[in-house]
Amino acid sequence: MTERTASLFDPYRLGDLTLPNRIVMAPLTRNRAAPGNVASALTAEYYAQRASAGLLISEASQIMPEGQGYQDTPGIHSPEQIAGWKAVTDAVHAAGGRIFLQAWHVGRISHTSLQPGGKAPVAPSAIRANTKTFVNNSFTDVSEPRALELSELPGIVAAYRQAAANTIAAGFDGIEVHAANGYLLDQFLRDGANKRTDAYGGSIENRARLLLEVMAAVIDEVGAKRVGLRISPVTPANDLTDSNPQALFNYVVEKLDALKPVYIHVIEGATGGPRDVAPDFDFDALRRRFSGTWMTNNGYDRALADQVLAAGKADLVAFGRPFIANPDLVERLRRNAPLNELDRDTLYGGGAKGYTDYPKLGTAA
């Protein structure tokens, strides 16, 4: 008898969770947090509308005030933020869903107007990124960062640990550590941004040190079954480069496997862009080094997702922007139904328009 291959609509066991399908809603920054960077009732409605996904991963949420890089992004470091997210997780669970929080520190991808006291953002090295951030309702060049002192790094690790505890207190099923897309942990990993000469710079082992310390702390705090990680080995997002990404991420994934996080979430290619930005990079080599759940992301449709699952190259597939315009994306994929058109003018900031007002199948716009 031929063994049946995995389907996008098969259930999947993720740690202690049973996912009803293998479709994941990827983290999507929407810049709609209430004052105090608190998730609002509108946020709860937005995520509950999408609870048919096998797993929801929240928009990135800063672990500390210095970790903010864009206006109106939620945090997970104050009592008010924990309470705001608790209303979201309650709504998602009431709708039958499961949800992880994505925790981030943006590092150098920030602006002095968002930093406590108007200070410079922090980074592994004082190298300004050639990119923009979203402040005052417009895109603005990021500010020049300062290099973190060696003595400050334990505080970064401690902030991630506390964020993990806060995440569980807020009712999330788990936490995804954001080490992708050119933010702080990714900046430490890659030699285009990390020019340090201490124990956190230079060799691959040194550049991976902060990420591995963060993951060990988070796993120690809440348990490996509640911890995932996002990486983007070859994306040029936020002006980040590395001279040898294959060797770097082969090492990172091997070390992560020993920590046994419940999943690794990998962006294949350029984030939100072409998948073939680095055609020589071997993502399968990473997959072979990790014994846990492998989640893939970037430019997937149903056909490509089915192909990858059937080949055993992934266990879960994350969809990003299609979930913005299609709260019922799971059902649309199941039926091969047409998708709503994305309103790009309402992606960042604003209210319900372009956020909670997209129609489901069988309803009028």
User: How far apart, in whole angstroms, are the C-alpha atoms of residue 321 and residue 347?
Assistant: 9
- Locate 22 and state its tokens: 């293998």
- CA 106 to CA 282: how far, in whole Å? 27
Active-site residue (options: 183, 251, 355, 358):
183
- CA dist., res. 25 & res. 321, Å (int): 9
Segment (H or E) for 146: strand 146-147
Q: Are 103 and 164 in contact (CB under 8 A)?
A: yes
Give Cβ neighbours of residue 362 (< 8 Å, ≥ 6 apart).
Answer: none
Contact 70, 105 (CB under 8 A): no
In the block, which residue shows the tokens 């893939």? Answer: 296
- Does residue 140 sit in helix, strand or coil? strand
Q: Is 183 a catalytic residue?
A: yes
Residue 35 makes CB contacts below 8 A (sequence gap 6+) with none
Q: Do 85 and 171 touch, CB atoms closer than 8 A?
A: yes
Rg (CA), the chain: 19
Report phi then psi at 12, rounded to 5.
-150, 140
How many C-beta atoms surround the C-beta of residue 69 within 10 A? 28
For residue 157, give Cα distances in angstroms to 63, 120, 162, 177, 250. 10, 20, 9, 12, 23
Q: Which tokens go with 18?
A: 């049973």
Query: Which of 55, 76, 52 has the alpha carbon at shortest distance from 64?
Result: 76
Active site residues: 183
